Structure 1
Amino acid sequence: MFKTNEYFDGNVKSIAFETNEGPATIGVMAVGKYEFSTSKKEFMTVTSGKMLVKLPDSDEWKEFNKNETFIVEANKKFNVEVNEETAYICFYK
């Protein structure tokens, strides 16, 4: 069954589900700045909108647009800034 998640006072919401390859979430982010922590390796793909992302061990922000993916290793923190409502899908390994 699906599990819904809500973070940052409701500004980030996701639905968790199982795929043939393992767990995943689909979600949306309202305009804002967020810091996330990982417990598993994450493969995040923007499906609508765009994200500015500061990956772990980097001082630079990189823009990810629709259909672009970034990867964050397990047990790391990363920062995201969105300037328009943005949707994503994330696969966990």
Structure 2
Amino acid sequence: MSKVNEYFDGNIKAINFENKGPLSIGVMEIGEYIFSTVAPERVTIIKGAITVKLPGRIEWKIYGTNDDFEVPGDSSFQMKVEQTTAYFCEYL
């Protein structure tokens, strides 16, 4: 079964579904966001790019099409989205 979630006044939309574990696929509109995690996550950029500051890091890093990054559970990370970007998220 799938479920649609919206965050930040609809600027980020995700379809959540199950396939041997929870997954989501979505689109991020231009903006700056802080996301909190419950479980560890792996985010893969499908199309576009985002600039991310991971927990405990000082530097920001750009992730583009086919790049991925992991975020620990019970943490938060910052994102700057300068172009509409599609992503895939695996909850580890």
Smaller-chain TM-score range?
over 0.9
Structure 1 counterpart of 2:60: 61
Structure 2 residue 43 is matched with structure 1 residue 52: no
Tell me the SS of whatever aligns to 1:40.
coil
Alignment correspondent of 2:86: 87
**What amino acid is aligned across from residue 6 of structure 1 in structure 2?**
E
Query: So what's the TM-score if we normalise by structure 2?
Result: 0.98
Number of residue equivalences? 92
Backbone CA RMSD of aligned residues: 0.5
Deviations 1:71-90 (A, max 9, x none): 00100100011100000000
1:77 alignment partner AA: S
Deviations 1:13-62 (A, max 9, x none): 00001113x11000000000000000000000000000100000011100
Percent identity over the alignment is: 48
- Alpha-carbon distance between aligned partners in 2 of 1:35 and 1:75, rounded to the nearest angstrom: 13
Structure 1 residue runs of 4 or more that deviate by more than 6 Å after TM superposition: none
- Structure 2, unpaired ranges of 5+: none
TM-score when normalising by structure 1? 0.97
- How far residue 6 of structure 1 moved from its aligned partner, in angstroms, is 0.2
Query: How does 1:1-93 map onto structure 2 within 5 Å?
Result: 1-20=1-20, 22-93=21-92
Gapped runs of 5+ residues in structure 1? none
Q: Distance in 2 between matches of 1:51 and 1:19?
A: 26
